[in-house]
Amino acid sequence: MNNIETMNTPSTRDEFEHRFHVLNEQIRRGKYQNPFSTGLDEVRLLPNGRIDILSINEQARLQANTMSQFNSKRMQELIKAQDIEDPND
């Protein structure tokens, strides 16, 4: 039976911004393509280079958190274990 884990959400503004920078880098490298990227193009930077938190909508936040979750060490371990368990799937 699969265990469902809750999504790890950022606890600080720095962690929150880091997730968006990682997502932006993945998009820039062509490693992330999502037809539902509504909201990502609306994220703005402040004059000091930080992300304008008020410009981030729910979909953009979910995409950044999901990307972080899938890149986490725990998720990679689960994927690897699943591949070993079901090599033909």
- Please give the Cα distance from 10 to 87 (Å, whole number): 33
Q: State residue 33's pLDDT score.
A: 78
> What integer pLDDT is reported at residue 68 of this predicted model?
86
* Residue 54: other Cβ atoms inside 10 A: 8
Q: What angle do CA 62, 67, 69 make, to 5 degrees?
A: 90
Residue, of 8 and 34, whose pLDDT is higher: 8
Q: What is the token pair recorded at 73?
A: 């060490």
Tens digits of per-residue pLDDT, 9-67? Answer: 899 999 999 999 988 888 889 888 776 667 888 999 999 999 999 999 999 999 999 88
The Cα–Cα gap between 86 and 9 comes to 29
pTM exceeding the 0.75 threshold for the entire prediction:
no
| pLDDT higher than 70, residue 6 | yes
Q: 86 or 26, which is more confident?
A: 26
- The conformation of residue 51, written as its DSSP 8-state character, comes to B
Compute the distance between CA of residue 30 and CA of residue 68 in angstroms, rounded to an integer: 16
